[in-house]
C-alpha cells in the first residue's frame, strides 16, 4: 500500500493576507516564496490547500 502525496509550492506572498490564510500556509510547512513540501494527500491537507489555493502551485 502506497500513500499518495501532493506537492505544494508557495508562489505568492502572505503579506497583507487575512490571518487565517497566513496560519494555513504555516501549517502546510511553507515559509518563503518558492518553498516546496510533499504532503500526504488527506482530506485535511486538501482543505488547507483549498483555503490558500490562490497562493500555491499544486502538483498531484
What is the rounded CA–CA span in Å between residue 38 and residue 17? Answer: 23
Q: Three-state DSSP class for 40?
A: strand
Q: For residue range 26-35, what is the model confidence (pLDDT) as tens digits?
A: 999 999 999 9
The model's confidence at residue 1, banded by pLDDT at 50, 70 and 90, is low
Tens of pLDDT, residue by residue over 43-53, are 999 999 999 99
- Domains, the chain: 5-59 (3.30.1390.20)
Mean of pLDDT over the chain: 95
Read off the pTM: 0.91
Amino acid at each position: 500500500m502506497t500513500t499518495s502525496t501532493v506537492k505544494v509550492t508557495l508562489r505568492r506572498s502572505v503579506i497583507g493576507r487575512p490571518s487565517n490564510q497566513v496560519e494555513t500556509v504555516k501549517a502546510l510547512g511553507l515559509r518563503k516564496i518558492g518553498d516546496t513540501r510533499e504532503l500526504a494527500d488527506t482530506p485535511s491537507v486538501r482543505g488547507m490547500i483549498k483555503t490558500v489555493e490562490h497562493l500555491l502551485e499544486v502538483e498531484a
